[in-house]
Amino acid sequence: MKDMLERLEERRAQARLGGGEKRIEAQHGRGKLTARERIELLLDKGSFEEFDMFVEHRSTDFGMEKVKIPGDGVVTGWGTVNGRTVFVFAKDFTVFGGSLSEAHAQKIIKIQDMALKMRAPIVGLFDAGGARIQEGVAALGGYGEVFKRNVIASGVIPQISVIMGPCAGGDVYSPAMTDFIFMVRDRSYMFVTGPDVVKTVTNETVTSEELGGAKVHTTKSSVADGAYDNDVEALLQVRRLIDFLPASNQDGVPEIPSFDDPNRTDDSLDTLIPDNPNKPYDMKELILKVVDEGDFFEIQESFARNMITGFGRVEGRTVGFVANQPMVLAGVLDSDASRKAARFVRFCDAFNIPIV
């Protein structure tokens, strides 16, 4: 029995190494964390329960039967964020570049089904290059199943995606269907296909950053809801967001003990709005003074800045804020601002979050 347990521990140690120490060093060299390090940061210490650690692909084409790595490029499981259950999957770039195979897809599908059944949020950490070309249609079929579950879970459980590397193809279609997308500046990209293909097809030279970098998606396309400087900051902000969100559309908003007196008066609000109606004032200042302890989590801060959307708490309970921002374009409604507000209101409506 002891011998079997030792062998099991050896296999676990091998699975935890993913693509091997050289590739892990290369990942760190790019300023990125590994899939398991990211999960450790996201979840409460010691809470992660991993599933399907030893799953391997079944492909026999192009010599793939000779290259099998336990886990097959994705780490899946569940854990807690500040004591609340969260399901998570993280693409492992050190294994086949995190590309999706049939077995890899089955692991993600299993986690999506469990999250839906348990009515708990799901977080996807993406760092991959799309479908595994050696498996062809089998890999693409796996993506179809993942997309289907994205749609079924929409408005039922919160779905959060964090883009932490160069992602293309299915690894951006799926996040695009989730509720919130966060990116890491200068290291993460979202595009249907990369700059080389664009150059071949349209003869247009474009950089990865111009095609799908964090700046493009947070300021122009509105695909991403926020961008952060590194993996650590992005994951800590996702933890903060999860604290604001209900576990499902039936759970009601979470309540957190607040030390902020709801009956307090703030005399500075008397002078916030200037006497001259042509002078702008900062609506964010008003929101920060109204919410508990000045804690406001803004969504799509860099896009359509004439509209403010985000989450705060009043008497310990989550509320959504939608506000015109007089400091930008006099707070007028244009098409971008309207879309931004409508999308946020739709999310709050699905999850029964009161709106101010």
pLDDT given for residue 17 in this prediction: 74
- Residue 56 pLDDT > 80: no
Lowest-pLDDT range, 50-54, 75-79, 170-174, 200-204?
50-54
The terminus-to-terminus CA distance of the chain in angstroms comes to 61
Mean pLDDT value across the chain: 89
CATH numeric code, 2-244: 3.90.226.10
- The β-bridge relationship of strands 49-51 and 189-191 is unpaired
Domains 2-244 and 267-350 share a fold: yes
301's CB contacts (< 8 A; 6+ apart) are: 218, 226, 310
Question: Could you give the CA distance from residue 158 to residue 345 in angstroms, rounded to a whole number?
Answer: 14
- Residue 57 pLDDT > 70: no
State phi, psi for 90 to the nearest 5 degrees.
-130, 125
pTM equals 0.91
Quote the tokens at residue 211: 């095609």
Neighbouring-strand partners of residue 79: 86
pLDDT given for residue 301 in this prediction: 92
- Residue 183 pLDDT > 90: yes
- Residue 292 pLDDT > 70: yes
Asked whether 183 and 224 are in contact (CB, 8 A), the reply is: yes
Residue 260: pLDDT band with limits 50, 70, 90:
confident
Asked whether 300 and 315 are in contact (CB, 8 A), the reply is: no
- The β-bridge relationship of strands 122-126 and 159-163 is parallel
Class of domain 267-350: alpha beta
- Residue 171 pLDDT > 70: yes
Asked whether 130 and 99 are in contact (CB, 8 A), the reply is: yes
Instruction: Identify the DSSP state of 171.
Output: H
pLDDT tens readout for residues 336-350: 999 999 999 999 999
Question: Could you give the CA distance from residue 23 to residue 97 in angstroms, rounded to a whole number?
Answer: 10
Residue 102: pLDDT band with limits 50, 70, 90:
confident
Query: In 3D, which of 83, 349, 126, 77 has the Cα closest to residue 239?
Result: 83
Question: Could you give the CA distance from residue 177 to residue 101 in angstroms, rounded to a whole number?
Answer: 20
Instruction: Identify the DSSP state of 131.
Output: B
Domain ranges of the chain: 2-244, 267-350
Query: What is the average per-residue pLDDT within 80-88?
Result: 95
- Residue 160 pLDDT > 90: yes
- Residue 6 pLDDT > 70: yes
Asked whether 189 and 211 are in contact (CB, 8 A), the reply is: yes
pLDDT given for residue 140 in this prediction: 86
pLDDT tens readout for residues 202-248: 888 888 888 888 999 999 989 999 999 999 999 999 999 999 999 99
Query: What is the average per-residue pLDDT within 7-22?
Result: 77
Higher pLDDT, 318 or 68: 318
- Residue 289 pLDDT > 80: yes
- Residue 114 pLDDT > 90: yes
- Residue 161 pLDDT > 70: yes
pLDDT given for residue 98 in this prediction: 81
Query: What is the average per-residue pLDDT within 8-26?
Result: 78
Query: In 3D, which of 24, 29, 142, 13 has the Cα closest to residue 89?
Result: 142
